[in-house]
């Protein structure tokens, strides 16, 4: 069993979903397996990864949100401890009890305190990054919240090789682990490949980025329209469905200067190049399994943890100063290469998400992501039944014949659905709730209830027929008050059952991450601030002493 998780890939980013990036290996899995059109995750990485690995709601795992945006009032509360809490059992632990070898490489972001790393949660071998992201070319932090990029091998602090590139290394290390366990070659294995692509900083080799020269010069409105149209042509969205108007905070392409347009277009070229570089490494891993005679008896899962990343940290003067101090640049001539910091920003993120908004939010752009499953007893099909990230663990466990012991999972097995034996995994009318940092949604039947807090929304509950209106263009709340009330009751039951906490008054995730980052900077560099303070006190003391001396010398 191989689970491949991309970081921040939008619903239409892979070629099989209508994207421009060359992803032939991912596309081949889609062509011979099941390609989902209505698969949902959470809007942030740690909650999604905890749910994928456990089959449990994120609040039950301890990762209700990510530590970088956690409000102080919530810190340490049940469900908000930012670690896999006692009693949470991962799919790796369950599979290992059934005789599987278990491996993890890539991004973890589920804690690195005592007992928090993969070796304490069922993985025989692991080489993982415990941070929201890191540089893709070297062992280097990507934002001032982190002082270092913390990689761990089998629970111990580890370091990267000189010739590191994240996608290549993640696969190389997985192959090394499988080769090293040749004595156990007859035992089944579970491989968790968690790529950094396409999390910021977006980085890719120049020779791959060059494949996309000129592809994005038409701007984000054009790309958004093209992606929406292609998704409909592929049958992934209903024909004729409208797309929502861009959020008022998003800039029109024509409003930015020609130089900015060129830089943003090149940034998307790097984004596509990073997806292609990831796909190339996936292809190498599949070829390796084929050479060992393992590929035909392997289930492959390919997905993304959440929608595309909208953050534009370069707009913050403090971040630009940090870039200057650390040597990061944003130049056209080497964009995406070593030492270069690239992000695509909210406008491109909204275009690649296809639906409303993007990562961090419970709009379709934050939750609606690709899912491909291929392998034995998975028939070639497009699956329009709704599926959720918690469904992956019970599906794989059922395929492995592993017992589903306590704790109970929130997900539903899709094994019969993949085999073409039933039209659904989870019954459509069973409510499906999601909440991360106040961004909330509930799906039931054809409908979606959604709430977006400030600054992107007003915290009002809106109601959409998400089957007919995946663009979230027509709010039905006023027209269907009874359905609204019924789904609100379902959401409240979900929130109470899973221990969802209300946000503190005035909470803003972007302001919170800025505050948390400042606190981390003070923690990391306290000695510098202490030194500055001491020098300041000495200067003030010196001025006072000098003034007193002058007054003493004046004649009476």
Cβ atoms of residues 381 and 39 within 8 Å: no
Cα separation, 448 vs 441, whole angstroms: 7
How many Å is the Cα radius of gyration of the chain? 24
SS3 for 503-543, per residue?
CCCCCCHHHHHHHHHHHHHHHHCHHHHHHHHHHHHHHHHHH
Cα separation, 11 vs 494, whole angstroms: 26
Task: Tell me which H or E stretch contains 205.
Answer: none
Cα separation, 358 vs 44, whole angstroms: 10
Structure tokens at 405: 């012991």
For CA atoms 371, 45, 401, 155, give the dihedral sign: positive
Structure tokens at 330: 């944003």
Q: Is 59 a catalytic residue?
A: no
Cα separation, 241 vs 243, whole angstroms: 7
Residue 39 phi/psi, 5-degree rounding, is -105, 140
Pick the catalytic residue: 59, 63, 109, 271? 109
A 10 A CB-CB count for 139 gives 17
In this structure, what DSSP letter does residue 33 have?
S
Pick the catalytic residue: 45, 112, 199, 368? 45
User: How close are the terminal C-alpha atoms of the chain, in Å?
Assistant: 93
The residue to which tokens 């709010």 are assigned: 475
Cα separation, 314 vs 341, whole angstroms: 9
Cα separation, 18 vs 34, whole angstroms: 16
In this structure, what DSSP letter does residue 368 have?
B
Q: Is 515 a catalytic residue?
A: no
Look at residues 268, 288, 179, 284 and name the one whose alpha carbon lies nearest to residue 217: 268
SS3 for 60-85, per residue?
HHCCCCCHHHCCHHHCCCCCCCCCCC
Active site residues: 45, 109
């Amino acid at each position: 069993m191989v689970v491949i998780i991309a970081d921040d890939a939008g619903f239409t980013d892979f070629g099989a979903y209508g994207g421009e990036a060359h992803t032939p290996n991912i596309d081949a899995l889609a062509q011979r397996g099941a390609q989902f059109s209505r698969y949902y995750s959470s809007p942030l990485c740690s909650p999604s990864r905890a749910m994928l690995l456990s089959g449990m709601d994120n609040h039950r795992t301890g990762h209700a949100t990510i530590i970088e945006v956690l409000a102080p009032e919530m810190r340490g509360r049940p469900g908000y401890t930012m670690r896999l809490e006692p009693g949470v059992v991962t799919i790796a632990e369950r599979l290992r009890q059934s005789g599987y070898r278990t491996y993890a490489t890539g991004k973890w972001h589920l804690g690195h305190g005592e007992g928090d790393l993969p070796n304490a949660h069922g993985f025989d071998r692991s080489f993982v990054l415990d941070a929201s992201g890191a540089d893709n070319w070297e062992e280097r932090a990507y934002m001032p919240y982190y002082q270092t990029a913390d990689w761990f091998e089998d629970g111990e602090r580890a370091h990267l090789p000189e010739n590191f590139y994240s996608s290549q290394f993640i696969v190389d290390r997985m192959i090394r682990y499988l080769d090293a366990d040749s004595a156990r070659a007859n035992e089944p294995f579970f491989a968790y490949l968690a790529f950094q692509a396409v999390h910021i900083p977006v980085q890719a080799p120049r020779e791959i980025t060059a494949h996309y020269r000129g592809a994005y010069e038409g701007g984000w409105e054009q790309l958004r329209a093209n992606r929406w149209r292609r998704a409909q042509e592929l049958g992934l969205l209903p024909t004729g469905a409208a797309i929502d108007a861009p959020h008022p905070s998003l800039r029109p392409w024509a409003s930015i200067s020609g130089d900015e347009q060129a830089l943003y277009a090149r940034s998307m070229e790097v984004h596509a190049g990073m997806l292609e570089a990831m796909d190339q490494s996936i292809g190498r891993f599949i070829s390796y399994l084929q050479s060992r005679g393992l590929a035909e008896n392997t289930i492959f899962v390919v997905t993304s943890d959440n929608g595309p990343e909208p953050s534009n940290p370069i707009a913050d003067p403090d971040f630009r100063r940090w870039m200057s101090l650390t040597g990061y640049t944003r130049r056209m001539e080497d964009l995406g290469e070593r030492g270069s910091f690239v992000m695509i920003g909210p406008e491109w993120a909204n275009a690649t998400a296809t639906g409303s908004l993007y990562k961090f939010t419970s709009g379709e752009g934050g939750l609606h992501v690709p899912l491909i499953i291929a392998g034995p007893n998975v028939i070639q099909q497009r699956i329009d039944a709704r599926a959720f990230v918690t469904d992956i663990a019970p599906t794989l466990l059922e395929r492995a014949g592993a017992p589903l012991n306590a704790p109970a999972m929130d997900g539903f097995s899709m094994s019969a659905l993949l085999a073409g034996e039933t039209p659904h995994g989870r019954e459509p009318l069973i409510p499906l709730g999601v909440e991360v940092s106040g961004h909330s949604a509930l799906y039931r039947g054809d409908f979606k209830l959604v709430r977006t807090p400030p600054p992107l929304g007003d915290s009002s509950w809106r109601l959409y027929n998400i089957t007919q209106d995946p663009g979230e263009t027509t709010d039905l709340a006023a027209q269907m008050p009874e359905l609204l009330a019924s789904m609100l009751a379902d959401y409240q039951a979900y929130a109470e059952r899973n221990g969802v906490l209300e946000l503190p008054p005035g909470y803003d995730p972007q302001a919170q991450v800025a505050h948390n980052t400042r606190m981390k900077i003070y923690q990391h560099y306290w000695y510098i601030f202490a030194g500055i303070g001491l020098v300041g006190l000495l200067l003030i003391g010196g001025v006072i002493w000098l003034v007193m001396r002058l007054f003493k010398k004046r004649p009476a």
